[in-house]
């Protein structure tokens, strides 16, 4: 029985081009489930719910969100997902391990977010150098990079 459940869970996972399953992403107490269809995400949510019940774990549904990726147009919000009897909020963007992901831009939005964060940090450093009158020749190239 357990083997059938594990095989069904693996079938619900997206696959790399090589055919290998893309596993859920875990870090500390955070998790991201990946699915290519609404049905496979619902299966994974049910599997997660059963696993948590078996091990006495809980999921904070107030902090649980779903992003449905689209290839253009408006964000897909017609799909509804539930966990533990509660509806899970569908959002256009979320942050996973510091990476911002958007429903229509996927990783492109993450790159632009980090580029903007780098620009802000550089300008803050330049301002601090100017405020302190620092003319350290090792630090000045950092201030002239942008």
What predicted TM-score, i.e. pTM, was given to this entire model? 0.61
Please give the tally of structural domains in the chain. Answer: 2
- Domain identity same for 82 and 112: no
Specify the residue for token string 């919000």: 77
pLDDT at 124: 86
- Domain identity same for 48 and 80: yes
Neighbours of 36 (CB within 10 A): 13
- Domain identity same for 101 and 138: no
Domain that holds residue 130: 107-146
pLDDT at 1: 44
Whole-angstrom distance, CA of residue 76 vs CA of residue 67: 8
- Domain identity same for 101 and 119: no
pLDDT under 70 in the chain at which residues?
1-11, 71-77, 97, 105-111, 135-146
pLDDT at 58: 92
Chain segment 76-91, per-residue pLDDT in tens: 567 899 999 999 998 8
What is the length of the chain?
146
pLDDT at 101: 74
Note the helical H segments in 14-146. 38-55, 107-131, 140-143
Chain segment 7-30, per-residue pLDDT in tens: 666 667 777 778 777 777 777 788
- Domain identity same for 90 and 56: yes
- Domain identity same for 79 and 131: no
Residue pair 73/39 in contact (Cβ under 8 Å)? The answer is no
- Domain identity same for 97 and 39: yes
């Amino acid at each position: 029985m357990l083997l059938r459940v594990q095989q069904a869970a693996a079938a619900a996972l997206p696959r790399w081009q090589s055919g290998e399953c893309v596993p859920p992403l875990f870090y500390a107490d955070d998790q991201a489930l990946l699915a290519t269809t609404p049905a496979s995400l619902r299966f994974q949510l049910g599997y997660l719910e059963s696993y948590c019940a078996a091990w006495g774990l809980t999921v904070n549904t107030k902090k649980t969100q779903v992003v449905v990726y689209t290839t253009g147009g408006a964000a897909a919000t017609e799909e509804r997902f539930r966990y533990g009897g509660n509806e899970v909020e569908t959002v256009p963007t979320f942050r996973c391990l510091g990476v911002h992901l958007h429903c229509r831009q996927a990783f492109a939005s993450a790159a632009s977010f980090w580029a903007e964060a780098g620009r802000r940090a550089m300008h803050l450093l330049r301002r601090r150098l100017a405020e302190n009158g620092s003319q350290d020749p090792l630090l000045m190239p950092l201030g002239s990079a942008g």
